């Protein structure tokens, strides 16, 4: 029999490319001969390459009448394939989900083909259940369940746009009437916010790099009113396994009162990782509130609140489509205290903040975490006189920050920068 690069190649690729420090652990056991061996890898392709017939034969003696089992720990989710002694039937099982399916072919190869065909067509519901379960049991799932997942980075991006950026904005311009100036125009804003995050999630090291790109169309009458476009990009490395993410979002900041700004937003995001065997897209709706309380000596206390709804979307690949059905309502709340630091540098300020994030809905590996941080920055407002009746104002801002993330299962640091021009 040819064990097909493939005992798990077809099965795992069909399931997961659409759906310890080692990410993948494979235990192959020939129970008839009483021999077994273990292989590990930090990429899907790496573990698949170790499951062909040559690899099995070089580690244990095997013929197709032997009882054989292949137990795969797939990012924290046990998946098993079993051949009984003198049997051509393959039993596919996921114990934590109560899944057990038997496929009978003319040969063991043929039984595996039947399993693959079932996963592609009639087993779609099983694949979706497995993908959803991974967000619950895996500390490094790219879709959801940890601070570097697609859902978490989308939540962070929405909150930054709806609270952090609003709270950092220049106070509404106050134009002197001297000289007969009656109108001040504000420039639109380009916002760049590169950041680096290092996390330890139950022993798994995760590093991510993000580059949120943004452009804001600012209302001439009120600098706090703006229409915003965001394009967040991300790159995540988990023990050498790489994920890529991107998104496209729009939001609209509108002041209810001079000190209170609401920002509704909508966003589409997606993530892909060949190494981790995952591909997904997500849609989200969010509403952020920023309430700022002026204090003495130009100090300010800002209160940020956000509620958002995040849901995976059906992903199509030819005739195949799946949606893991991960749906969560997320609450993110913050307090930020801002104070001028003119004694350190002219036109500079310091922000101290604490953020709490909580997830409800689909079960996730991590449902809450807190962040403590600060940012120090410089802001300069330039005013160009266009005529004796009009002025044009634009701002330049540079910020650098550091925050510490803590939870029951994850800890880490984030370094972030902000550029506005």
What's the pLDDT tens digit per position in 19-42?
356 899 989 899 888 889 999 999
Residue 175 has pLDDT above 70, yes or no: no
Return the higher-pLDDT residue of 191 and 56: 191
- Complete domains list, the chain, with CATH: 9-122 (no CATH), 150-420 (2.40.128.130)
> Long-range contacts: 64-68, Cβ < 8 Å, 24+?
64/1, 64/107, 64/108, 65/32, 66/30, 66/31, 66/32, 66/33, 67/30, 67/31, 67/32, 68/28, 68/29, 68/30, 68/31, 68/32
The 8-class DSSP code of residue 194 comes to -
- Per-residue pLDDT reduced to its tens digit, 363-391: 999 999 999 999 998 876 665 545 444 45
**Burial class of 37 by CB neighbour count within 10 A (0 to 12, 13 to 18, 19+):** middle
Per-residue model confidence (pLDDT) at position 218: 87
Q: What percent of the chain has pLDDT over 70?
A: 85
- Per-residue pLDDT reduced to its tens digit, 42-55: 988 888 777 665 67
Per-residue model confidence (pLDDT) at position 301: 94
Mean pLDDT, all residues of the chain: 84
Cβ atoms of 198 and 413 closer than 8 Å = yes
């Amino acid at each position: 029999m040819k064990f097909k690069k493939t005992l798990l190649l077809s099965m795992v690729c069909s399931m997961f490319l659409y759906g310890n420090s080692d990410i993948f652990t494979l235990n192959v056991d020939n129970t008839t001969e009483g021999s077994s061996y273990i292989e590990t890898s930090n990429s899907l392709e790496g573990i698949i390459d170790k499951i062909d017939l040559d690899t099995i034969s070089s580690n244990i003696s095997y013929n197709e009448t032997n009882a054989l089992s292949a137990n795969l720990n797939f990012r924290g989710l046990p998946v098993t394939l079993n051949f009984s002694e003198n049997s051509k039937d393959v039993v596919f099982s996921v114990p934590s989900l109560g899944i057990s399916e038997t496929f009978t072919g003319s040969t063991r190869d043929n039984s595996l083909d039947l399993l693959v065909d079932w996963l592609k067509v009639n087993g779609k519901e099983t694949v979706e259940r497995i993908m959803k379960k991974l967000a619950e049991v895996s500390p490094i799932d790219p879709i959801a369940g940890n601070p570097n997942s697609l859902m978490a980075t989308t939540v962070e991006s929405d909150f930054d746009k709806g609270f952090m950026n609003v709270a950092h904005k220049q106070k509404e311009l106050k134009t002197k009437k001297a000289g007969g100036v009656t109108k001040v125009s504000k420039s639109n804003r380009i916002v760049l916010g590169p950041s680096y995050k290092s996390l330890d999630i139950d022993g798994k090291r995760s590093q991510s790099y993000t580059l949120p790109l943004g452009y804001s169309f600012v209302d001439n009458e009120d600098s706090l009113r703006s229409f915003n476009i965001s394009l967040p990009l991300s790159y995540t490395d988990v023990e050498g396994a790489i994920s890529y993410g991107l998104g496209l979002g729009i939001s609209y900041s509108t002041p209810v009162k001079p000190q209170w700004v609401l920002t509704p937003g909508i966003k589409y995001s997606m993530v892909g990782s060949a190494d981790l065997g995952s591909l997904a897209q997500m849609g989200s709706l969010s509403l952020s509130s920023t309430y700022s309380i002026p204090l003495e000596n130009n100090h300010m206390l800002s209160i940020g609140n956000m509620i958002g709804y995040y849901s995976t979307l059906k992903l199509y690949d030819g005739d195949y489509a799946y949606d893991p059905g991960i749906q969560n309502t997320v609450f993110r709340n913050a307090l930020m205290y801002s104070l001028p630091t003119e004694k350190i540098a002219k036109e500079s300020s310091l922000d101290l903040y604490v953020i709490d994030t909580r997830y409800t809905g689909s079960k996730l590996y991590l449902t809450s975490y807190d962040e403590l941080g600060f940012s120090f920055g410089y802001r300069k407002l330039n005013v160009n006189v266009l005529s004796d009746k009009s002025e044009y104002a634009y701002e330049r801002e540079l910020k650098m920050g550091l925050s510490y993330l803590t939870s029951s299962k994850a800890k880490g640091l984030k370094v972030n920068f902000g550029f506005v021009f």
